[in-house]
Chains A and B, each alone.
Chain A
Amino acid sequence: MKSALRSTPLLMIVPSLLLAMFIIGYPIIDLAWTSLQEVSRFGQLRGFNGWDNFAEVFSDPLFYGSLWRTVIWTVAVVGGTLLLSLPIALILNDEFYGRGLARVIIMLPWAISLTMTAVVWRWGLNGRAGLLNATLMDLHLIAEPVEWLATAPMAFATEILIGILVSIPFTTTIFLGGLSSMPQDAYEASMVDGAKRWDQLRYLTLPLMRPFINIAIVLNVIYVFNSLPIIWVMTEGGPANGTDILVTYLYKLAFRFGQLGKASAISLIMFGVLLVFTIIYVVMVMRAEDDGGAAGEASK
């Protein structure tokens, strides 16, 4: 009976483990394997060519352009999201009339697939008949319709703003979760000690929110770095690769240009970058758990 009990938990995790290994583990190995080989357009492996694929990637100006834009995209979207989400979470955590409705509205973009959001915005931003132009012209802010997506810098900036918009709900949710776990008695104590709302924010809320902010940064970096639909649907990386980031460039290489060796090399490079962030995340989670665990043990 003892040994049966001992193997029960292992039996319970094995199915999930196998599925994850198969769907997530295997492609990584396959990509690593492929990246070292010459590959035909149709996916046939034609033997090892050493680091040729990587060399090709690193001599490709489009790769550097995409890499650079990926950095801008990630930093701008994550930074903008955090700057907006924290005050929003603070507002939504406070009592006011219509808070329920406000929460629902702020969370709405999360409910809708990025693809649909991007499709609607592409139409809303249409240079000729877009309703954004209609609104701005009604308000006499512009005299002529603006071609929002026609030039790369303008298109990219627009895409970043939409990226921020769709990242706010998730980030706000993390912050709301954090705020709801704030120790109420500490706030009461601080009021007795004479802290004003601003002092509470500065000396209690922000320091206590630190771990949640850290997690939000890392998770958002990972999600935004990986996000394809907005740019893909709105401009497909164009015009003239001017809005390409690594994921869109990778997707084009793999499924448009059939440069599979190069694409798998880029996949692997991105995997490496992701791995670094993931390890940061895992370490952060484990540290948070150690703290929580220690507190739990002490209270026993």
Chain B
Amino acid sequence: MISKLKKTVIYWLLLAPLVIVILFPFAVMFVTAVRPREELFVYPPRWTFSQFRWDNFVDMWVKTNFGGALLNSLYVSVSATVLALLFSIPAAYALSRYRFPGKGLYRNFLLMTQMMSPIVLVLGLFRLMVAFGLVNNLNSLVITYAAFNMAFTIWMLQSYFNTIPRELEEAAWMDGASHYFSLVKIFLPLAVPAMVVTAIFTFINSWNEFVLALTMIRSNDDFTLPVMIFSQVAGRYQIEWHHVMAATVLATVPVAIVFSWLQRYLIRGMALGAVK
């Protein structure tokens, strides 16, 4: 038996290169975001800089229309999450609780949609949105994000629903509760944690989506955060890197914190059968 201390040292040494590479971009982000503009391009390149320029964040906020993009991202992500859950909860409940004709077919269909990435369909989706006049409309993203996340949310919710014993509802029926009442008073309260976790993952997925937002949204005012930041980099002669990094910090850090806190639920979900 190796002692836990010895194991700790060996493991951290093994993980060290990866940890460094993972943390490198975060360091780059912070160090650039607070660096004076004049010190972006120095030779030889170096990590250190003369002073913290917190004003970079303020300047960036104004110049890049960060607030607008933030609101757009929030609107799209929240709406898409709500929509996806509204459609997924009944479907996951049906999959978890009922036998019905075509159930296997429906599940395979869901698996297929999970595999279809937006990029392969992006041209068709674009033509669809043109036909409905939804190009340059954030709602086109709401609908598509909801649809592309649904397979995941149904999958995740179903695997959690399966862990809520069916007998609880049956007992409620025997106690005289209607289907609706037992759903509202017995099932849903127990399913809340699962729904919250699923909602947050859907939110993060929508928050981070790039290809569809890049395609559907044409005007600066409607950019979501990833597209806004990309637009600061793409096809520009002069890139204001300190602004770009300041924006990246603001756009990613809150999400990264929430995600770090939740990742163990994802592992549990996988163990419960999201993979099975």
Min CB–CB distance B39 → chain A (angstroms): 9
A77 contacts B by Cβ under 8 Å:
no
Asked if B245 and A120 sit within 8 Å, CB to CB, the answer is: yes
Closest A residue by C-beta to B273: A292
Q: 1/0 per position for B130-155, CB-CB distance to A under 8 A? A: 10000000000001101110110010
Min CB–CB distance B51 → chain A (angstroms): 18
Closest A residue by C-beta to B23: A105
Cα separation A288 to B273 with both chains bound (whole Å): 10
Cα separation A129 to B8 with both chains bound (whole Å): 36
Asked if B124 and A267 sit within 8 Å, CB to CB, the answer is: yes
> A180 contacts which chain B residues (CB < 8 A)?
267, 271
Asked if B260 and A131 sit within 8 Å, CB to CB, the answer is: no
Asked if B25 and A133 sit within 8 Å, CB to CB, the answer is: no
A212 contacts B by Cβ under 8 Å:
yes
A57 contacts B by Cβ under 8 Å:
no
B106 contacts A by Cβ under 8 Å:
yes
Q: 1/0 per position for A121-148, CB-CB distance to B under 8 A? A: 1111010111111110110000001000
Find residues 200-215 in chain B having any chain A CB closer than 8 Å to their own CB: 204, 207-211, 215
Given contacts A43-B127, A103-B263, A177-B267, contact A20 B207 (CB under 8 A): no
A47 contacts B by Cβ under 8 Å:
no
Cα separation A95 to B19 with both chains bound (whole Å): 18
Q: Which of A61-69, A107-115, A200-208 contacts B (4 or more CB under 8 A)?
A: A107-115
> B181 contacts which chain A residues (CB < 8 A)?
none
Closest B residue by C-beta to A42: B130
Asked if A24 and B255 sit within 8 Å, CB to CB, the answer is: no
Find residues 51-90 in chain B having any chain A CB closer than 8 Å to their own CB: 86-88, 90
Asked if A228 and B127 sit within 8 Å, CB to CB, the answer is: no
Q: 1/0 per position for A247-288, CB-CB distance to B under 8 A? A: 100110011000010011001001100110110011001101
Cα separation A106 to B19 with both chains bound (whole Å): 7
Cα separation A133 to B43 with both chains bound (whole Å): 11
Asked if B115 and A91 sit within 8 Å, CB to CB, the answer is: no
Min CB–CB distance B5 → chain A (angstroms): 7
Asked if A15 and B121 sit within 8 Å, CB to CB, the answer is: no
B172 contacts A by Cβ under 8 Å:
no
The number of inter-chain residue pairs (CB within 8 angstroms) is: 300
> B91 contacts which chain A residues (CB < 8 A)?
12-13, 15-17
> A109 contacts which chain B residues (CB < 8 A)?
22
> B260 contacts which chain A residues (CB < 8 A)?
104, 107-108, 111
Asked if A97 and B8 sit within 8 Å, CB to CB, the answer is: yes
A79 contacts B by Cβ under 8 Å:
no
Given contacts A115-B226, A134-B44, A278-B111, contact A30 B128 (CB under 8 A): yes
> A212 contacts which chain B residues (CB < 8 A)?
275
Min CB–CB distance B104 → chain A (angstroms): 8
Asked if B276 and A285 sit within 8 Å, CB to CB, the answer is: yes
Contact partner of A274 (CB less than 8 A), chosen from B120, B244, B270, is: B120
Cα separation A16 to B89 with both chains bound (whole Å): 10
Asked if B263 and A113 sit within 8 Å, CB to CB, the answer is: no
Closest B residue by C-beta to A30: B124
Min CB–CB distance B99 → chain A (angstroms): 8
Cα separation A233 to B211 with both chains bound (whole Å): 11
Closest A residue by C-beta to B12: A98
> B111 contacts which chain A residues (CB < 8 A)?
278, 281-282, 285
Q: Which residues of A contact B (CB under 8 A)?
A: 6, 8-13, 15-17, 19-20, 22-24, 26-31, 34, 43, 84, 87-88, 91, 94-98, 102-117, 119-124, 126, 128-135, 137-138, 145, 165, 168, 173-174, 176-178, 180-181, 212, 215, 222-223, 226, 228-229, 233, 236, 247, 250-251, 254-255, 260, 263-264, 267, 270-271, 274-275, 277-278, 281-282, 285-286, 288-289, 292
> 16 A-B pairs, CB-CB below 8 angstroms?
A20-B151, A23-B144, A29-B124, A34-B123, A95-B4, A98-B8, A108-B256, A111-B263, A115-B208, A124-B28, A134-B46, A173-B266, A223-B117, A247-B120, A250-B123, A264-B123
**Top 9 A-B pairs ranked by shortest CB distance?**
A27-B124, A177-B270, A113-B208, A111-B259, A23-B147, A226-B117, A12-B90, A9-B98, A12-B94
Q: Which residues of B contact A (CB under 8 A)?
A: 4-5, 7-8, 11-12, 14-15, 18-19, 21-29, 31-32, 40-47, 86-88, 90-91, 93-95, 97-98, 100, 102-103, 106, 108-113, 115-117, 119-128, 130, 143-144, 146-148, 150-151, 154, 204, 207-211, 215, 226, 229-230, 233-234, 241, 244-245, 248, 251-252, 255-256, 258-260, 263-264, 266-271, 273-276
Given contacts A27-B125, A278-B116, 18 further A-B contacts (CB under 8 A): A19-B147, A34-B124, A107-B263, A119-B233, A119-B244, A123-B241, A124-B28, A126-B241, A130-B45, A168-B18, A180-B267, A260-B123, A267-B122, A271-B116, A278-B112, A278-B115, A285-B276, A288-B276
